[in-house]
Amino acid sequence: MNWLLIAVALAVVAAFLAHRLRRRQEQARAYLKGVRSMISDDPDAAIEALSDAARLSSPEAVETYMALGDLFKREGDVPRAIRLHRNMLHRPGLPASRRAEVERELADDHRRAGMLEDAAVAYRKLMAAGDALAAAGLRDVLVDQKRHAEAVEVHRTRCAPDTRLLAHLLAAMGRELRDEDPPAALAAAREAVEADPGSADALLSLSEALSAAGDGAGAVAALEQALGAAPEAALLSWSALAALDPSEATRALDRAIAARPGDPRLLTLRGRLLAAAGRSAEALAPLREALAGDQDGEVTLALRELLREAAPPGPGELAGRHDLMAAALLRSAGLLRCRRCGGGAAVRSWRCPRCGTFDACG
């Protein structure tokens, strides 16, 4: 009888272990299928496979849930990412060591969903608990809220040193202050250049602040430095260029074009400058040349936006404007992509509007 009981017990244990092994194998296969789907850029299949893996509730399920949340965000389905991370926080089996990580992901979900106050509260709570990574999240939320002075303070006191990023933050702070406090704006812009002398963003912020302070020569010098520092970002110099005296702006742009003949971004700026001076008919020639020389699609996208927002054409330029618009629309041009999150944008900016990374779009 004892031998029979022992045999039955061993059979039960063997069945349990076999069942557990099958579940682990199913989880591994489902997770592997999800990873393969992500690699092959099939997000729908990846979501289905990772959801199957997560439901198996294996010890690896936390990793699976995190991968699934990342995939939701990559596909722009932030509400599902929020629900998933909230459910994870209420899940009894969540290890205490992973809770801060999930809370940080939820705070990032709130930021991406535009729930900035909720995100700020969550990041401050994590930061108070000693989470070093939460400070960077709070800094990004403050930038989203255009509270640049606070973002600079958090970056300086709580984040890892990064002079390039500090220059961007100070440049944005300078632009924010330019109308309400010009001296403070100029000081912030100068500090941005001191933090990173090669930052085109900082140099353009300084040019704009110097123009507002009446220092035209200094503004021109800063603008020309910026155009030399980052030729690929030339289209972002329009605000600084437009703030100059028109004759000084024209001479500065002519010098830049002489240094880089045929540069489509600089030719686009020349067309914009002519149009701003009321010489719309003359602007068509450099804009056509810029479109013809566009190699990566950025000028094409910029011209589409420019022509869409332009004032109605005069009688003498209607045909030329129409031809330019048709050419810009027919030309193939993909969106500018962020190298970090893959988000697309039709207009270049210093900071990715989706993930908040600086200098990542191009």
Query: Looking at 10-14, 51-55, 72-76, 319-323, which range is the least confident one?
Result: 10-14
359: number of Cβ within 10 Å = 18
- Taking only the tens place, the pLDDT of each residue in 93-120 is 778 888 899 999 999 999 999 999 999 9
Residue 115 near residue 85, CB atoms below 8 Å = no
Q: Is 308 exposed, middle or buried (0-12, 13-18, 19+ CB in 10 A)?
A: exposed
Positive or negative torsion for Cα 27, 28, 33, 36: positive
Domain boundaries, the chain: 251-331, 334-362
Task: Give the CA angle between residues 308, 313, 319 to the nearest 5°.
Answer: 100
Q: Which CATH class is domain 251-331?
A: mainly alpha
- Taking only the tens place, the pLDDT of each residue in 247-265 is 999 999 999 999 999 999 9
Phi and psi of 314, rounded to 5°?
-75, 165
Tokens 């299928």 — which residue?
33
The whole-angstrom separation of Cα 321 and Cα 313 is: 7
Positive or negative torsion for Cα 198, 199, 200, 204: negative
- Taking only the tens place, the pLDDT of each residue in 324-338 is 999 999 998 888 888
Residue 10, token pair as written in the block: 């061993």
Task: Give the CA angle between residues 215, 204, 172 to the nearest 5°.
Answer: 110
The pTM (predicted TM-score) of the whole model is 0.80
Q: What's the whole-number mean pLDDT along residues 169-184?
A: 95
